[in-house]
Amino acid sequence: MTTLGLIRHGVTDWNDQYRTQGHSDIPLNEKGRQQAELLSRRIGTEQWDYIYSSDLSRALETAEIIGKIKNIEVRTDPRLREMNCGLIEGTTEQERVNRWGYGWFRLDLGIESDDEIVKRGKECLTDISDRHPDENILIVSHGAFLGVTLKRLIPHIDMTESLMNTSITILHTAQPRWDCSVYNCTTHLNVKSIDIVKENMENEI
């Protein structure tokens, strides 16, 4: 049985501004790096064998922060990229309404379909699982990509809660279906831990 730990990247300025990111290569902000550091401390106490990441910098930097503490080289796969959001990338909901009206989501704005996301998502996760049988694999990707893919892989799990930044969801490739033992867990993100990491980072400067 292969175990996959699916991680959403740390927060970015566009996340904070509620701007759609898609394939736009937006980096982590300082808070996002702190989140990734906190997650790495949690991961450091667990058994993981490999790390794969989207090639977009917000996911890749999150993965590299984790990989550093585990001494694991990060492998990239472009199939793990966020959904392509076409013409709405870089916009907020209000900006979309101002430009295209309240029915903007019914227009052809070049946005990747759920079926297209699921196709590459399932293929990628299956390929990685088959490549590493009976091992524990971390995969760092993006909110919409992971959310849409998970709804097809584990429809029996309640996923009404959106994935949080640096949350981890744990899947198992047990037969006859994929199963989920942990969903959207962010126990590593608490105020006390964030303060400790911030203090340590300041002391290193």
**For residue 76, what are the contacts with CB-CB under 8 A and spacing of at least 6?**
52, 53, 54, 55, 60
Q: Cis link prior to 176 (omega < 30° from 0)?
A: yes
CA distance 9 to 128: 19
What pLDDT does 190 receive?
Answer: 83
Question: 187: which 2 tokens?
Answer: 């126990």
| Annotated catalytic residue within 37, 61, 64, 82 | 82
Instruction: Assign domain 3-204 to its CATH superfamily.
Output: Phosphoglycerate mutase-like (3.40.50.1240)
* pLDDT, block means (10 residues), the chain with 205 residues: 96 98 98 97 95 98 96 97 98 98 97 97 96 96 97 92 97 85 94 50 42
| Annotated catalytic residue within 9, 37, 64, 188 | 9
Report the predicted TM-score, pTM, of the whole model to 2 decimal places. 0.91
Q: Is 82 part of the annotated catalytic residue set? A: yes
CA pseudo-torsion sign 28, 10, 136, 113: negative
What pLDDT does 191 receive?
Answer: 55
- CA-CA distances (angstroms) from residue 11 to 88, 122, 132? 19, 25, 29
Q: Is 9 part of the annotated catalytic residue set? A: yes
**For residue 202, what are the contacts with CB-CB under 8 A and spacing of at least 6?**
none
- Asked if residue 9 lies in contact with residue 144, where contact means CB atoms within 8 angstroms, the answer is no
What pLDDT does 193 receive?
Answer: 47
